[in-house]
Amino acid sequence: MAADDFIANKWTQLAGLKNGPVSAESYRSPAFYQLERERVFGRSWLIMGRVEEIAKPHSFMVKEIEICEASVLITRDGEGRVQAFHNVCSHRHNLLVSEPQGCSQLIRCPYHGWAYGTDGELRGVPDEKCFVGLDRKTAGLAKIATEVWNGWIFINLERKPSVSLEDFLGDFGSFLANMEYPNADNPIVVEAQLDCNWKVVADAFSESYHIPVIHPETIGTTFASTSNRTGRLMDARFFGPHRFCSMYGNPDYRPHDHQKVEQLAYSQVQTGSTIAAGKVGSMDAFLAHPSVNPTRTKSWSMDVNFVFPNFNLDTGPGGFWTHHFWPTSYHTTRHEVRFYVPKALTVRERFQQEHYLSRVIEVLVEDVSNVARVQRGLESGAKDAMFLQDNEALLRHSVHHVEKWAKSATVQEAMSE
């Protein structure tokens, strides 16, 4: 294909948006951040993780949603049901569980020893006779609305969610439904505390325009080639507040002669891609899903499935990986990444995974080392607006929907066409 074959100039229109400058306010305004707290994160369904993280009965995990000052305890009870609770003791509101995960039938508060089952029921109160009129039935943990969808655990912090998960996902649910998730039980977990608004880092993982420039040596030549030098998108789709794009990959990429360690790492391990850890053969059902590489091109590097507001489900020839962009203030973010890899069975597979991880961490470092500079530029107030091109339509779509949710008094209004 020649370079101009990739010019679409239709993604922005497909997103239902107009070209033209985009306001920078939502990236730097403390007042806007308060609206995001109440109206975006406080009312959206949020992906907290996968069911494989709490596979056994009575296992649990704690996740923080800093922007809402919520500590969330997600349990699997003895019957196998998955449910989220506020991680807050009913007695005097001490945070209940302090470890990131655990497994036990009783969860005991470290302050005065109240004990709860993994179903959230209050099971034990030391010196209960001195609590006059205490009714255990009304003193269990505070439930948070929870839904499990295709193995993803969603919660909604509204006491009574204004929208069902099904309606919230809308056509994006049909687009992603029944995807297989290879190696879902074996994530590599990565975290970075960043000095930028959460949308600055989310944006860095929603376009491939930056790849040849900021990643020239790590992945520049795997994502771009002479036929697509600037990372023009292969496909983009928009589903209410959610979005999708498919990125170009150079099918001719090979390690250079001098890259001896890279060659050795990949020499006896079939991964299906030069930067992947999945095993060829175990990926078939996943790769056959119609929404994985939907244009069915050979020149494919990866797809981004952006679940509003803050979650990326990325797919590539070697499997899937995820990003969470958790705001911790209007200009700081906790960025969590999970790469799902097969369990290494041989020394060579394990060495390949080490090389793979080393490389993807360098790519992440290239991305996240730049975000503080963007934030400083935004906060300098030098400019009122950003110029976005057609292949940055996902960013334009993100700002549009975050602003719409922040402006809307009701979720119905935020989700209206």
Partner 1 sequence: MNNSLLPAAFADLEAHVAEWALPSFDARMQHRAASSMDNIRRFYDAMQPRAEAALAHLENFPLDVLPAAEQRLMHMLYALAQAAMAVEIHGQPKVGHAKLPIAVRVLREPLPV
Q: Min. distance of Cβ 28 from partner 1 in angstroms?
A: 21
Residue 26 or 250: the one with the smaller Cβ distance to partner 1 is 250
Could you give the CA distance from residue 151 to residue 320 in angstroms, rounded to a whole number?
A: 14
Taking residue 379's Cβ as centre, other Cβ atoms within 10 Å add up to 16
**Cβ-closest residue to Fe ion?**
367
Query: Which residues inside 361-390 make contact with Fe ion, applying CB under 5 A?
Result: 367
Question: For partner 1, which residue of 59, 225, 353, 375 counts as binding (CB under 8 A)?
Answer: 353
Residue 123 or 404: the one with the smaller Cβ distance to ligand FES is 123
Question: For partner 1, which residue of 1, 288, 365, 385 counts as binding (CB under 8 A)?
Answer: 365
Total binding residues toward ligand FES, as defined by CB under 6 A: 9
From Fe ion, partner 1, ligand FES, none, interface partner of 62 (C-beta below 5 to 8 A by class): none
Q: Min. distance of Cβ 84 from ligand FES in angstroms?
A: 19
In order of 150, 160, 216, 275, 278, the CA distances from 363 in angstroms are 29, 41, 10, 11, 18
Q: Min. distance of Cβ 324 from partner 1 in angstroms?
A: 13
Could you give the CA distance from residue 52 to residue 185 in angstroms, rounded to a whole number?
A: 5
Q: Min. distance of Cβ 176 from ligand FES in angstroms?
A: 40
Interface with partner 1, residue 343, by CB under 8 A: yes
SS (H, E, C) the chain: CCHHHHCCCCHHHHCCCCCCCEECHHHCCHHHHHHHHHHHHCCCEEEEEEHHHHCCCCEEEEEEEHHHCEEEEEEECCCCCEEEEECECCCCCCECCCCCEEECCEEECCCCCCEEECCCCEEECCCHHHCCCCCHHHCCCCEEEEEEECCEEEEECCCCCCCCHHHHHCHHHHHHCCCCCCCCCCEEEEEEEECCCHHHHHHHCCCCCCHHHHCCCCCHHHHCECCECCCCCCEEEEECCEEEEEEECCCCCCCCCCCHHHHHHHHCCCCCCCCCCCCCCCCHHHHHCCCCCCCCCCCEEEEEEEECCCEEEEEECCEEEEEEEEEEECCEEEEEEEEECCCCCCHHHHHHHHHHHHHHHHHHHHHHCCHHHHHHHHHCCCCCEECCCHHHHHHHHHHHHHHHHHHCCCHHHHHCC
Interface with ligand FES, residue 339, by CB under 6 A: no
User: Which part of the chain contacts partner 1 (CB under 8 A), choosing from 9-17, 44-52, 325-333, 345-353?
Assistant: 345-353
Query: Which residues inside 55-94 make contact with ligand FES, applying CB under 6 A?
Result: 89, 91-92, 94
Q: CB within 8 A of 209, min separation 6: which ones? A: 230, 231, 389, 391, 392
From partner 1, ligand FES, Fe ion, none, interface partner of 355 (C-beta below 5 to 8 A by class): partner 1
Total binding residues toward partner 1, as defined by CB under 8 A: 43
What tokens appear for 14 in the block? 């497909």
Interface with partner 1, residue 66, by CB under 8 A: no
Query: Which residues inside 98-117 make contact with ligand FES, applying CB under 6 A?
Result: 109, 111-114
Interface with ligand FES, residue 131, by CB under 6 A: no
Question: For partner 1, which residue of 149, 209, 253, 351 counts as binding (CB under 8 A)?
Answer: 351
From Fe ion, partner 1, ligand FES, none, interface partner of 109 (C-beta below 5 to 8 A by class): ligand FES
Residue 134 or 363: the one with the smaller Cβ distance to ligand FES is 134
Nearest one of 36, 313, 10, 322 to 169, comparing CA atoms:
313
Q: Min. distance of Cβ 182 from partner 1 in angstroms?
A: 15
Residue 94 or 370: the one with the smaller Cβ distance to ligand FES is 94
Interface with partner 1, residue 184, by CB under 8 A: no
From Fe ion, partner 1, ligand FES, none, interface partner of 112 (C-beta below 5 to 8 A by class): ligand FES
Interface with partner 1, residue 376, by CB under 8 A: no
Interface with ligand FES, residue 153, by CB under 6 A: no
Residue 117 or 342: the one with the smaller Cβ distance to partner 1 is 342
Interface residues with ligand FES (CB under 6 A)? 89, 91-92, 94, 109, 111-114
Interface residues with partner 1 (CB under 8 A)? 186-194, 217-218, 256, 258-262, 264-265, 277, 341, 343-348, 350-351, 353-355, 357-359, 361-362, 364-366, 368-370
Interface residues with Fe ion (CB under 5 A)? 367
